[in-house]
């Protein structure tokens, strides 16, 4: 085992790199190169990693009786426990594991190295119901299936490890994506056809550390980050089509300054017919993943951890036909956000997501809403393991867009601590009002919003639901809330909800079919 370090990352690499490096070098071209890459990836999947433990500065990960497929990686990545916005906040480090057990259930041990005795541990998402034991300061967890997990020690979220566990079958899916392409028809994302010959440029990064700063992709290019590959830098594409960014490697911004560099982890602008699959984005010096004026893009099975100011997770702006699913996002600004700049934003779906929001909102539309419309935006089957600062759900229309046909369905908040620091103790917030980001005369509306089956498992009981519209012409209308449960109590009437609504909201804001009567002057 070799250990590679940079200023913020300690990487444990399990597979010898010489064979891959000598076979491929920095870049490969053509179908023969692709076939060679596929063969190498499959060999990595088939090979069993002989590893006893991986160590970061904060945690030791062990694998008793759990064989791994290469390439497991353990890192310390930057996180942020402060709840007040700052241009240059203080940050901490958290241990993170990226591994592929050969089979599930998979048993992994964790031993924190901070010196504090471990008496208990909890695994999130709680729905995973992962058997957990603590003995002599060592936590043993049996993970039932592949997924993105958080293990917290002594009930303290500031003492937590993040584990991104993928099965070899999922890695094989990545191999399949390398040899087959998804059709560009958004309605048939899952239909596959042979890889066209025009895919002549395959950019391959083998296990190891690569200092690139910016990787710029062009139309019909593949970027594959092998398991164990760490790219210090960012990935950018502009005015391009048919791009694939995939693999189980890491894109890391730890070496770059927030303001001198301001590198978005993955930044696609004016692109179409693209896929982003499997990669991990750590410590971007700005937003983690941006889609700006993009069309027909699928993002799945990625992991994001951000900690610096404005480290939004997935930011989608003026884009259409976007599908994001099965991802983990931990952010120090909005985790999932949709905005509009000139062009509409429409047909955007987030589902099967796991979020940890240290600052700002978990699911946000706005504040920048200077577009004709922002419509058909759906958040479905989302688990928020922690939300510390501002609302879990929010729509902030501060320009002139018509925001309509928005849904939030089957949302579980495991720990609701909104209002910490300089935050707002609100569960949901819908506003039509100017903000510091407004650029146009306020003329927007919010219409046709569905909130269905929102469950808060623990946390504050005094969370408010807020509606604010600045004038009668700027109504918030047709908002339907049902299946709202907080700390085990189903709230089926407005009298049982802490509501903050002014007189310009309505009509037809309902909870279980009962209309809200806003306060008057």
Q: Return mean pLDDT, the chain.
A: 87
pLDDT tens, position by position, 338-347: 999 999 999 9
CB burial class (10 A; 0-12, 13-18, 19+) of residue 128? middle
Residue among 357, 344, 337 nearest 420 (CA) = 357
Residue 520 has a pLDDT of: 52
Angstrom distance (rounded) from CA 265 to CA 253: 7
Angstrom distance (rounded) from CA 486 to CA 411: 12
Tell me if 282 sits within 8 A of 164, measured CB to CB.
Answer: no
What is each CA distance from 479 to 170, 436, 496, 503, in whole angstroms? Answer: 39, 26, 18, 15
DSSP 365-385: EEEEEESSEEEEEEEEEEEEE
pLDDT-based confidence at residue 214 (cuts at 50, 70, 90)? very high
Residue 479 phi/psi, 5-degree rounding, is -110, 120
Average pLDDT over every residue of 384-398: 97
pLDDT tens, position by position, 463-488: 999 999 988 878 899 999 999 999 99
pLDDT tens, position by position, 113-126: 998 999 999 999 99
DSSP 57-92: SSEEEE-TT--EEEEEEEEEEEE----S--SS---E
Q: Best-predicted range by mean pLDDT among 6-10, 222-226, 320-324, 472-476?
A: 320-324
Residue 1 has a pLDDT of: 36
pLDDT tens, position by position, 154-167: 999 999 999 999 98
Residue 46 has a pLDDT of: 77
Residue 442 has a pLDDT of: 77
Q: Give the range among 43-52, 167-176, 227-236 with minimum mean pLDDT.
A: 167-176
Angstrom distance (rounded) from CA 484 to CA 497: 10
pLDDT tens, position by position, 237-259: 999 999 999 989 999 999 999 99
Residue 8 has a pLDDT of: 36
Calculate what percentage of the chain has a pLDDT beyond 90: 72
- Say how many Å lie between the first and final Cα of the chain, rounded: 70
Residue 11 has a pLDDT of: 34
pLDDT at 189 over 60: no
Angstrom distance (rounded) from CA 276 to CA 343: 23
pLDDT-based confidence at residue 184 (cuts at 50, 70, 90)? very low
pLDDT at 174 over 80: no
* Three-state DSSP state, 147: strand
Tell me if 328 sits within 8 A of 351, measured CB to CB.
Answer: no
């Amino acid at each position: 085992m070799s250990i590679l370090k940079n200023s913020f990352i300690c990487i444990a690499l399990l597979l010898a790199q010489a064979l891959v490096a000598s076979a491929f070098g920095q870049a490969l071209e053509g179908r023969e190169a692709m076939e060679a890459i596929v063969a190498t990836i499959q060999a990595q999947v088939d090979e069993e990693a002989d590893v006893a433990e991986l160590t970061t500065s904060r945690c030791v990960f062990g694998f008793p009786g759990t064989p791994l497929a290469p390439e497991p990686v353990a890192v310390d990545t930057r996180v942020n426990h402060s709840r007040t916005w700052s241009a240059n906040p203080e940050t901490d480090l958290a241990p993170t594991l990226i591994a592929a057990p050969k089979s599930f259930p998979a048993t992994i041990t964790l031993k924190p190295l901070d010196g504090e005795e471990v008496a208990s541990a909890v695994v999130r998402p709680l729905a995973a119901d992962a058997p957990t034991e603590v003995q002599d300061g060592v936590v043993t967890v049996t993970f039932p299936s592949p997924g993105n997990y958080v293990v917290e020690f002594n009930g303290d979220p500031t003492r937590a490890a993040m584990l991104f566990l993928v099965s070899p079958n999922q890695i094989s899916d990545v191999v399949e994506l390398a040899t087959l392409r998804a059709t560009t028809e958004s309605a048939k994302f899952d239909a596959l056809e042979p890889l066209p010959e025009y895919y002549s440029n395959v950019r391959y990064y083998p296990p190891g550390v690569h200092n690139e700063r910016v990787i710029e992709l062009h139309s019909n290019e593949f970027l594959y980050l092998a398991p164990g590959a760490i790219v210090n830098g960012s990935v950018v594409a502009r005015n391009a089509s048919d791009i694939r960014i995939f693999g189980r490697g890491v894109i890391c911004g730890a070496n770059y300054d927030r303001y001198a560099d301001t590198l978005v982890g993955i930044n696609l602008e004016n692109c179409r017919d693209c896929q982003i699959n499997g990669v991990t984005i750590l410590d971007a010096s700005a937003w983690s993943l941006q889609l700006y004026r993009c069309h027909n893009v699928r993002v799945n099975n990625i992991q994001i951890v951000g900690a610096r100011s404005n480290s939004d997770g997935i930011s989608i702006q003026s884009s259409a036909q976007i599908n994001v699913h099965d991802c983990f996002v931990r952010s120090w600004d909005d985790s999932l956000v949709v905005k509009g700049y000139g062009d509409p934003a429409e047909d955007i779906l987030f589902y099967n997501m796991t979020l940890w929001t240290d600052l700002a909102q978990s699911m946000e539309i706005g504040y920048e809403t200077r577009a004709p419309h922002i419509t058909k935006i759906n958040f479905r089957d989302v688990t928020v393991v922690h939300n510390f600062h501002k609302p879990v759900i929010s729509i902030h229309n501060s320009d002139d867009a018509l925001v309509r046909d928005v849904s939030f369905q089957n949302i579980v908040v495991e720990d609701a601590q909104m209002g910490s620091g300089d935050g707002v103790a609100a569960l949901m917030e819908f506003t039509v009002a100017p903000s510091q980001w407004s650029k146009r005369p306020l003329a927007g509306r919010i219409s046709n919003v569905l909130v269905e089956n929102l469950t808060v498992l623990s946390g504050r009981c005094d969370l408010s639901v807020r509606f604010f519209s600045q004038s009668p012409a700027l109504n918030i209308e047709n908002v339907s809330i049902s299946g709202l449960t907080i700390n085990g109590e189903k709230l089926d009437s407005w009298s049982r909800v802490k509501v903050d609504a002014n007189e310009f909201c309505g009509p037809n804001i309902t909870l279980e079919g009962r209309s809200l009567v806003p306060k008057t002057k």
